[in-house]
A and B are shown apart, each in its own frame.
Chain A
Amino acid sequence: MSTPTTRPTADAAREAVQAAVRHVVPDADFDYVDDDTPLRGEFELDSLDFLGFAETLASRTGVPIAEADYPRLATMATCVAFLTGARDGT
């Protein structure tokens, strides 16, 4: 099967997630946020913040993100897995 979109590398995906969070929370500090920390809770993203995050992430990476994919944007680890197209075991 052909891949419809060019997938970012893991590093690029990670960078895009940080940038998309900072789009909403400009001073977001990732130094102490491990890969399994829920991003919504850590950065106090309300529903509108989360939409802004998801939309920014889609436009930065070129990876289409449908609403059904939102649960896969829970943590840095799940975001990277989703964006790079890795199987996340589900």
Chain B
Amino acid sequence: MVMAERFDYDLERQAFSWEQAAATLPRLPSGGLNIAHVALDAHVAAGHGDDVALICVDETGGTTRHTYADLSGATSRFAHLLRSLGVGPGDRVMSLLGRQVEQYVTALGTLKNRSVFSPLFSSFGPEPIRQRLSLGEAKVLVTTPSLYRRKVAAMRADLPHLEHVLLVGRPMEGTLDLTAELAAQPDTFEIPPTDPEDRALLHFTSGTTGTPKGAIHVHQAVLAHHVTGRYALDLHRGDIFWCTADPGWVTGTSYGIIAPLTHGVTLVTYAGEYDPRVWYGILAEQRVNVWYTAPTALRMLMRSGAALAQDYDLGALRHIASVGEALNPEVVVWGEEAYGLPIHDNWWQTETGAIMISNYRGAEVRPGSMGRPMPGIEAAVLVRGEDGRADRTDGKVTPAGVDEVGELALRAGWPSMFRGYLGEEERYRSCFADGFYLSGDLATVDADGYVWFVGRADDVIKSAGHLVGPFEVETALMEHPAVVEAGVIGKPDELAGEIVKAFVTLRSEWEPTEELRGELLAFGRKKLGGLAPKEIAFDQHLPHTRSGKVMRRLLKARELGLPEGDVSTLEGAES
């Protein structure tokens, strides 16, 4: 058990250097740096092969344990399998899986082969899946028979790059049996020399317009995963750690797989859905020390009451952290009451690859604040220009004053900074100005350097911690014959932060009936799965900009009952 230590923020920041931190990471025997080596093989080489790396809790509460040696062997088999299928460095391997051991084997086996791992959220509908497989030019997909049959099989012909589908379970036509294929491969694999700048991970995220963006990360990112795992999550060898995020999202990869394994901790993963009793049962029975979860989950637990938490022995818990959206101050306060521990909010994005701003164990937590920048990270809030984003007049940015709202930005160059959007150089470049990465989030910074989230500078929706691009939802709805146009916004919601709400304009021959509303909701769910709108309103007069785009901000102002003329309060104006 690791004892509480006082965290001297200023001292840590002063003493920290990425170079020194990098020197503590195990390099590949063959040369270079590979995430899978740091996460698995180096532990085995150091004599920790028998330590438990992963505890999988299934829906019935049954558990399966996998040691570091087990995962090292299984990922070696996976790397050999990829090689035998002609999948090489840089080729994309995507997963569409539940929270199961194969997800870990696919991720780290892919990295051993120096291919690029890209996870898909299993609740996506067929359309978001097709789009990401296609944009990512995935060569391999690892999934289950049920997900394949329901969401992929019908569109296989439209995915010319997809050469191999590996199924966890009984194979179907045009697929391979993953378990049988792995069994035929050797369980040792020498990772070839890996340049720290070699591509490793591809995470899709949503923008305001256009297709989802594929953010590229490199093997060097593991340095930031490792360092932030210690600073923000207080991870130490021997800890039991539960990250509740689905591995289909960036948190589930950076902190559900990579960061904790680099520290030699034991991961817990649960295959089932959210249920307060089951969750507390897992925390108690697995003796979880560090718990990383999300505001939506915490708000739901808060609904169940602090007394429920006290029915369980949560005595092993040492540190709680939250990410996904700003954590309301009342939840932080409630956490103290329910768990006897503060909840440490932190902030980062798909593009940042790792936690950038955090509250720290042993340092003052200011409820409602995301905390202060990580050692090694320089953050700034920048004065906004007319478009609501950081003012970039003559290519220069200006820091905002204390407590002044501006765009949150980071000095470019940290190890887990994304290295590009797949195939979209211009879109990537436009994220940077004057040496800063511009986050698109609005924030203030107080006199002591604590950062406070204000809102998004654009129309991207944050629902239950997941980014949803309104354009993707609008496009899908417009494929319905009744819909001529759609505007999609995030409607504030007590539990999810925001829910996806669509305003649709019907073609003249269609009537706005309850039946049609139901049909459109069903249509959205079928196409988009978890991204689908939860509410649909008919609106024959959607507001437009002069260039003809739907003014989502005005829709949002109407929804919130704000004066429509005063859209400036809604974080910037539509260009």
Contact = CB atoms under 8 A, between A and B. Distances in A.
B105 to A, nearest CB: 23
A52 B499 CA distance: 13
Given A67-B276, A71-B275, A71-B277, A48 B464 contact: yes
B529 A44 contact: yes
Contacts of B534: 48-49, 52
A40 interface: yes
Classify the interface of chain A: helix, strand, loop or mixed.
helix
Interface in A27-56: 27, 40, 44, 46-52
Contacts of A46: 123, 273, 464, 530
Interface in B511-549: 517-519, 521-522, 525-526, 529-530, 534
Contacts of A50: 273
A51 B521 CA distance: 17
A47 B466 CA distance: 13
Interface string A44-74: 1011111110000000000000011011000
A10 interface: no
B296 A26 contact: no
A70 B276 CA distance: 10
Contact of A26 (B276, B493, B521): B521
A25 interface: yes
A46 B495 CA distance: 13
B82 to A, nearest CB: 30
Contact of B300 (A22, A27, A47, A49): A47
Contact of B274 (A25, A27, A47): A47
A27 B518 contact: yes
Contact of A47 (B464, B521, B529): B464
Interface string B267-299: 000000111110000000000000000001000
A26 B274 contact: no
Nearest to A28: B522
Contacts of B526: 27
B320 interface: no
Interface in B244-282: 273-277
B464 A67 contact: no
A26 B300 contact: no
B179 interface: no
B122 to A, nearest CB: 10
Interface residues of A, number: 17
Contact of A25 (B304, B464, B525, B530): B525
A21 to B, nearest CB: 12
Contact of A70 (B275, B496, B499, B517): B275
A26 B277 contact: no
Contacts of A68: 277, 304
Contact of B518 (A26, A40, A71): A26
Contacts of A22: 518
Contact of B273 (A40, A51, A52): A40
B303 interface: yes
A44 B273 CA distance: 11
A17 B304 CA distance: 23
Nearest to A51: B495
A47 B522 contact: no
A43 to B, nearest CB: 9
Interface string B162-177: 0000000000000000
Nearest to A41: B273
B59 to A, nearest CB: 9
A26 B464 contact: no
B123 A26 contact: no
A67 B274 contact: no
A26 B493 CA distance: 21
Nearest to A40: B273
A30 to B, nearest CB: 14
Interface in B473-503: 493, 495-496, 499
A67 B303 CA distance: 8
B284 to A, nearest CB: 17
B273 A47 contact: yes
Given A67-B276, A67-B304, A25 B522 contact: yes
A50 B303 CA distance: 15
Contact of A48 (B303, B496, B522): B496
A70 B273 CA distance: 12
Nearest to B529: A44
Nearest to B273: A40
B278 to A, nearest CB: 8
A44 B300 contact: no
Nearest to B530: A46
A65 B464 CA distance: 24
Given A26-B521, A47-B464, 20 more contacts: A22-B518, A25-B521, A26-B517, A26-B519, A26-B522, A40-B273, A44-B529, A46-B123, A46-B273, A46-B464, A47-B296, A48-B493, A48-B495, A48-B499, A49-B534, A52-B534, A67-B303, A67-B304, A68-B304, A71-B277
5 contacts: A25-B521, A27-B518, A27-B522, A67-B276, A67-B304
Pick the 3 closest A-B CB pairs, nearest first: A26-B518, A27-B522, A26-B522
